[in-house]
Amino acid sequence: MIGLLRYALRSLWARRVTTLATAGGIALLVFVLAASSMLASGMRRTLARAGDESRAVVIGHDQFAEHRSSVPASVLGRVAAAPGIRKDASGQPLVTGETVTHLMLGEASKAHISTLQIRGVDANVLALRPNVRVVQGRMLQTGTAEAIVGRGLVGTSPELAIGRSIELSVSKPATIVGVFDAGGTVLDSEIWVDLHTARSAFGMEGSLSSVTAQLESPAAYDAFALPLTEDKQTGLDVMRESAYYNRLAEGVATIIITLGVLEALIFSLGAICATMIVFYGAVAQRRREVGVLRALGFRRRSILAAFLAESVVLSLAGGAVGMGCALFTPLLDFHLVNFVTGQDVAFHFHPDLDTLLRAVLVATSVGLVGGLFPAVRAARMAPVVAMRA
């Protein structure tokens, strides 16, 4: 049986032109499937990592995302008075109100992004988000028309550099004074400006988009949320910050995976057809060889196994090339619009074990399905008839 398998594998080299063409098609299939999976995983990871179980987000009732939400500024006091809030060293509750809106870059920009998410932040924003740190320049000063840019936006436009200004609205520029790093989360794709400056520039005086609270522990969430959601007149939705960002991630990840699967199905049909054509041709060319093998005593199931092994090896080789190309995608800086929020998000492709196993399974399946019928045909050949062909 080992000798038969060696014979089958050597035939791949003997037909190397068609072998390479078929392997290339399978490589493309695996690359598309793996890249779309890594794309969705990277987007989900970028969004989900911004959330924390011990922080809570308060937004307007039935509002899916912060940029669509508007709550009275007085809500900040209600949140600060809720039970379960952690206090800072001076005894003040760790809560912060923020505004979130979108801003289009001007026509003079040559950036690859189209929409910037602007977050108006208060003086205690870094206390609420300890994973964020300023890596270039300095932190913006409260009460001034200054801004800091997320690391994911650096280099995407000449306008988004320290010392440059961005127009928040007509005659209301903000000078960029620093760059912050949020640990590869979605916050890296935002621009932060002073809260009061943002409210004035975007006509949001007296309102907030959201209120974020640092809880004493994740277990304090229920006691914190109850008094805020009981008042139906105010109309507030409360959720863990981790749940909020996971919700934003699922929509875009589902769309990416669905599109990737549809493309992979189209490519897989082509790869299966190509594999069948190649191996039907191989069976026709090797009829006498198959007849000799049968005459030498090799059983039908051995012939079937040899042709299937040849097909699977070809598919796995193509799959390995496609997966190898896909593994280079994390080296790329990538921007994608989050269809849920409309925000341009900077992120990296994220490979994982599930993606690798899925790629191996798809490549193996293409080899098995594409090679099955030609292998059955070869196994059913009568020795005498095959040698006379």
Residue by residue, DSSP assigns 160-202 as SSTT-EEEEETTEEEEEEEEEE-SSSGGGGEEEEEHHHHHHHT
Q: What is residue 384's predicted lDDT score, i.e. its pLDDT?
A: 57
At residue 212, the pLDDT reads 95
Question: Which region holds residue 381: left if phi is over 0, alpha if psi is between -120 and 50, else beta?
Answer: beta
Bridge partner residues of 346 (DSSP): 335
Q: Which residues make Cβ contacts (< 8 Å) with residue 321, sequence separation at least 6?
A: 23, 24, 27, 30
Q: Which structure tokens are listed for 342?
A: 């409309």
User: Residue 134: enclosing H or E segment and its boundaries?
Assistant: strand 133-137
SS3 (DSSP) at 84: coil
Residue 151 has a CB neighbour count (10 Å cut-off) of 18
For residue 336, give the 3-state DSSP assignment.
strand
How many angstroms separate the Cα of 177 from the Cα of each of 123, 171, 208, 287, 350?
15, 19, 24, 76, 31
Instruction: State pLDDT tens for residues 221-260.
Output: 999 999 888 866 667 999 999 999 888 877 777 777 777 7
Q: In 3D, which of 193, 125, 131, 206 has the Cα closest to residue 165?
A: 193
Amino acid at 74: S
pLDDT at 108: 38
| Residue ranges in 286-352 assigned as alpha helix (H) | 287-295, 300-326
> How does pLDDT run across 317-373, given as a tens digit for each residue?
888 888 888 888 887 777 766 666 667 777 778 888 888 888 888 888 888 888 777
* The predicted structure's pLDDT at residue 110: 46
| Two tokens, residue 345 | 């998000």
**pLDDT (0 to 100) of residue 149:** 95
* Domain assignments of the chain as residue spans, ordered by start: 2-48+248-388, 55-216
- List, for the chain, all residue ranges whose pLDDT scores fall below the cut of 70: 1-16, 105-114, 231-234, 281-298, 336-342, 379, 381-389
pTM of the model: 0.75
pLDDT score at 55: 94
CA atoms of 362 and 351, how far apart (whole Å): 16
CA–CA distance, 46 with 53 (Å, rounded to integer): 16
Amino acid present at 305: A
Contact criterion met (CB below 8 Å) for 371 and 283: no
- Range 11-42 burial, b when 16+ CB lie within 10 A, else e: bbeebeebbeebbebbbbbbbbbbbbbbbbbb
Task: Tell me what pLDDT residue 268 has.
Answer: 77
How far is Cα 158 from Cα 61, in angstroms, rounded to an integer? 39
